[in-house]
Amino acid sequence: MQDLAVPVEHKERKLNSGNQTRREDTFVKKLPKVMEIKKAHVLGVILTAGIIGYFGIPHISRTACQPVGQVDLYKTFSVLPRQTDLDETFLMLPRLSYPQPFVDKPQRTDVLLMSPWLAPIVWEGTFSRDILNAQYRQKNLVVGVATFAVKKYVRFIEGFIGSANKFFLSGHRVNFYLFTDHPEKVPSMKLDPEKRLFIIPVQNYSRWQDISMNRMDIISSYIRSHWRYEVDYLYSMDIDVQLFEHIGVEIIDTLVGTISSWQYTKPRESNSYERRPESRAAIPSGEGDFYYAASFYGGSISEVYKLTTACFKGVTEDRANGIEAKWHEESHLNKYLVYHKPTRLLSPEYYWDEELIRPRIVRVKRLSSVRKDLKEIRF
């Protein structure tokens, strides 16, 4: 009688209760094993992730997983793509014989040797090239040089490359990147085994000012596409110069500027800074350190990328506003270096103008402009 009062669905549940109880018993017995398997799986995933994070498996790197449009090149370049030899730290310098340095006997007292932000200023007589070479040869660095020979400036190629092959970073690996609108006019030249010349065609511009200002954009683009995989440091140099003395690894640093031979003794108010506030290259009155020459600057590949990208952005914004900086890309370079201090400064020895009389403090003329008729060569 009690069964007749039970709802139909309850009857079915009751009839199957025996089987359900057996299934529930079986599930309860299996549950601890399932939980153990899941725990083991989770622990395995955590352990694998830890191994990947510790050893830095390359195919799961953060950069590789980012969409191309979101890659921050400023962060990407903080670690250079070129592989670092971790064993180089343990290499010992060869035995060298050189005069002992003394803290109370400065090597030179006639010139400024340190900037207010503690960047060294490189002068003849302030360093030992033998010591520097012994250190840098172990680093196995590759240095790039970007230079432009457009229009009539092709006449300077042989003099520049020939003298640079002899005097620029002798004994170290150097890639010369020569941009020209006349590749067929580049003479055949024999270089030292550790030096290589790359000839890169580039378009011509009607005005020499445009050629000058677009160099920043070209350098920035090639760093992004090629050079960050090929060199550790990059320097931009004018083609219409020649080297007369060795320029070695004393120039190597993160961000390097060359003090202009025309303005190295002038007060900041007399320097050729762009002062018009409407220009992106403007340096406000009362600001400025040294006046830097655009004929020779450089540094690590990441820092030169930041510099050239920022400078060309300023050039582009000035064009959009119908203004051209006083000394073109050199004005933008000086603006950048006011707010991004160079880590090393090269004295006027490293770019001396032939029109100037060399004073006693400039003991060596390492690099100098070639005498020329600017009106004839530019137009």
Give the active site residues.
330
Q: What Å distances lie between residue 359 and 75, 243, 287, 320, 349, CA to CA?
A: 44, 19, 27, 43, 11
The answer to whether the beta carbons of residues 112 and 265 sit under 8 Å apart is no
The answer to whether the beta carbons of residues 81 and 229 sit under 8 Å apart is yes
Query: In angstroms, how far apart are the furthest CA atoms of the chain?
Result: 127
* Helix intervals (H) in the chain: 8-15, 17-55, 62-65, 73-76, 129-137, 157-167, 208-225, 301-320, 329-339, 374-378
- Taking alpha carbons only, the member of 331, 343, 352, 336 closest to residue 114 is 343
Compute the distance between CA of residue 346 and CA of residue 328 in angstroms, rounded to an integer.
21
The answer to whether the beta carbons of residues 314 and 215 sit under 8 Å apart is no
Bridge partners of residue 29, in order along the sequence: none
Compute the distance between CA of residue 241 and CA of residue 368 in angstroms, rounded to an integer.
5
Compute the distance between CA of residue 14 and CA of residue 277 in angstroms, rounded to an integer.
91
Compute the distance between CA of residue 332 and CA of residue 311 in angstroms, rounded to an integer.
5
Residue 153, H or E segment: none
